[in-house]
Amino acid sequence: MAGPRYRVSMRRRREGKTNYHARLKLVLSGKKRLVVRASLHSIVVQVVDASLKGDKILVSAHSRQLQKYGWKYNPGNVPSAYLVGYLCGMRAKNKKISDCILDVGILVHKHRVFSAFKGFLDAGIEVPHGETIFNNLNIDSRMKGEHIKQYAELIKKKSKKNYEKEFSAYIKNGIDPTKITEDFDNIKNSITKKP
């Protein structure tokens, strides 16, 4: 049983949504924050400015917006995360935002969050970070979907039935998962031309 000194933590901390100690440091820095949030089926990247009235979203990109550029793959995977980060970075560049700091919240989906961060960096916005964060993640090949392509080729060789079962949604929509890297490059080029 809890005694008289027991202190209940804040609701959003109990729910695992907000790390208030980290948030306080980020807000007190006075810089704009690059907020990256990933769920199972989507990724959201935003540039946020904190004020007394509440956070103000300056630039935002959502993984569902990639469909406008022709992206037909899962909006929650690693290549989608990179493209969303890149899209948000290009939009921030157009709004003359030159630098910000990374706010990952309570980190859960590591590869997707850092892939979105890498996309934002590749757009040309300056965000302070250590180069070692990308070392252990093998992010350069994963962000283009090389792991999806290799898995699709491997499973296709072993069993056509399993391939059709694993990639049934892609096959139903007429998408070849072995061409994800080429599609990735095409979408990135179209985002560069018109964010």
Q: pLDDT tens-digit profile of 71-107?
A: 999 999 999 999 999 999 999 999 999 999 999 888 7
For the domain made up of 18-193, the CATH class stated in words is alpha beta
Alpha carbon of 100 to those of 8, 92, 133, 158, 181: distances in Å? Answer: 33, 10, 17, 47, 29
Question: What residues of the chain score a pLDDT lower than 70?
Answer: 1
At 135 the pLDDT is 78
- pTM higher than 0.85: yes
> What string of DSSP letters covers 114-136?
HHHHHHHHHTT-B----GGGGGG
The contacts found for 59-62 with CB under 8 angstroms, 24 or more apart, are 59/88, 59/91, 59/92, 59/95, 59/97, 60/88, 60/91, 61/85, 61/87, 61/88, 61/91
DSSP 178: G
At 1 the pLDDT is 61
Radius of gyration of the chain (CA): 19
- Residue ranges per structural domain of the chain: 18-193
At 11 the pLDDT is 94
